[in-house]
C-alpha cells in the first residue's frame, strides 16, 4: 500500500494523540475512539485530491468564522432578551402603581417637603389641580432603570437603610389631580426611566472584539482561498512518454 505524505503525517498525529491519551490515563474506550477517528480522518484527507482538499479547508474556515460570529450575536441577544423582560416587568409594576394612585389634598403651588423618608417629587408643579393631587408610589423594581441624570435617581441611590429605620423606603411621585393614568405613565417613562433596551448586530459583534476579529479573519481567508482555487485552473494530465 502506497502512502503519500498526508497519510504519513496523519498517522504520525494519530500515534501522538494515542500516546497523549494513554499518558493522561484516559479510558480504553476513549483511546480507541481517538484512534478510529484519527485513522478515518487520515484516510479521508490523504485520499482526497489536493484541489478538493483546498476547497474543503476553505469551507471549514468560512463555517468556523460564521459560527464564531453567530456565538457572539447569540450571547448578546440572550442578554438583550433578559433585559427587555426585566424592563417590561418594571413598566408593568409602574402601571399597577399608577392604577393604585391615591388622591391627596392639594399642596401650595411650588411647595416641596425636605426629603424625609419617602420624599416628594413634582412632575408638573405649574399644572397642579386646584382641588387635589395624585400620588404614585414608585416601585422598587423600576429603580434599576432610572436615568442617571434624573433627580429621582440621585435620591434613589441615597435611600435610607430599611434595617436602620425599620420601614421600607417608598418614594411618592405627585401629579395633578386631573391628569389621566396614561399621561402619568408616559410622564414617568419619559422623565425618569431609561429607554427600552434595543438590539444591534454591529454592537453585539463589537462587544466581543477579539472573537469578532478572529471570526471575520476566518471568513475572509475562506472566501479568499476559495476564490484563488477557482481562479487557478487544474493542470492537465500529461500522458506518459513511451
| Alpha-carbon gap, residue 197 to 60, rounded angstroms | 35
Every domain of the chain and the residues it spans: 1-47, 80-191
Question: How many C-alpha atoms does 242 have within 13 Å on its Cβ side?
Answer: 0
| pLDDT of 64 higher than 50 | yes
Q: DSSP labels for the chain?
A: ----HHHHHHHHHHHHHHHHHHHTT--HHHHHHHHHHHHHHHHHHHHS-HHHHHHHHHHHHHHHHHHHHHHHHHHHHHHHHHHHHHHHHHHHHHHHHHHT-EEEEPPPTT------TT-EEES-GGG--SSEEEEEEPPSGGGGGB-TTSHHHHHHHTPPPHHHHTS----EEEEETT--HHHHHHHHHHHTBPPPP---HHHHHHTSHHHHHHHHHHHHHHHHHHHHHHHSPPPPPPPPP-
Lowest-confidence region among 27-36, 60-69, 150-159: 150-159
Residue 11's closest CA among 41, 48, 47? 41
Selection from 2-6, 98-102, 151-155 with the highest mean pLDDT: 98-102
Cβ atoms of 93 and 142 closer than 8 Å: yes
What grid cell was written down for 10? 496523519
The pLDDT of residue 87: 92
Residue 6's closest CA among 41, 46, 54, 49? 46
Cβ atoms of 103 and 132 closer than 8 Å: yes
| pLDDT of 73 higher than 50 | yes
Distance separating the N- and C-terminal Cα atoms of the chain = 26
Residue 142's closest CA among 96, 180, 103, 76? 96
| pLDDT of 126 higher than 50 | no
Look-up of cell digits 476564490: 227
Q: What is the pLDDT of residues 206-223, one digit of tens each?
A: 888 888 888 899 889 888
User: Is the sign of the CA dihedral 89, 95, 98, 99 positive or negative?
Assistant: negative
* 114 compared with 89, residue with greater pLDDT: 89
Amino acid at each position: 500500500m502506497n502512502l503519500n505524505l498526508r497519510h504519513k503525517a496523519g498517522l504520525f498525529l494519530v500515534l501522538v494523540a494515542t500516546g497523549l491519551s494513554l499518558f493522561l490515563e484516559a479510558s480504553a474506550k476513549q483511546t480507541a475512539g481517538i484512534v478510529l477517528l484519527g485513522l478515518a480522518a487520515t484516510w479521508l484527507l490523504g485520499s482526497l485530491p489536493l484541489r478538493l482538499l483546498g476547497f474543503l479547508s476553505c469551507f471549514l474556515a468560512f463555517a468556523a468564522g460564521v459560527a464564531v460570529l453567530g456565538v457572539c450575536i447569540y450571547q448578546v441577544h440572550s442578554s438583550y432578551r433578559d433585559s427587555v423582560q426585566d424592563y417590561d416587568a418594571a413598566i408593568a409594576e409602574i402601571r399597577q402603581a399608577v392604577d393604585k394612585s391615591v388622591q391627596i389634598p392639594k399642596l401650595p403651588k411650588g411647595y416641596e417637603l425636605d426629603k424625609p423618608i419617602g420624599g416628594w417629587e413634582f412632575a408638573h408643579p405649574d399644572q397642579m389641580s386646584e382641588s387635589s393631587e395624585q400620588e404614585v408610589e414608585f416601585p422598587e423594581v423600576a429603580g434599576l432603570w432610572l436615568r442617571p441624570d434624573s433627580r429621582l435617581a440621585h435620591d434613589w441611590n441615597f435611600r435610607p437603610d430599611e434595617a436602620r429605620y425599620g420601614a421600607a423606603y417608598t418614594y411618592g411621585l405627585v401629579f395633578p389631580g386631573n391628569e389621566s393614568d396614561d399621561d402619568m405613565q408616559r410622564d414617568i417613562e419619559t422623565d425618569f426611566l431609561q429607554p427600552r433596551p434595543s438590539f444591534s448586530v454591529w454592537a453585539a459583534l463589537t462587544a466581543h472584539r477579539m472573537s469578532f476579529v478572529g471570526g471575520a479573519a476566518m471568513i475572509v481567508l475562506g472566501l479568499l482561498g476559495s476564490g484563488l482555487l477557482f481562479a487557478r485552473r487544474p493542470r492537465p494530465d500529461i500522458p506518459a512518454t513511451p
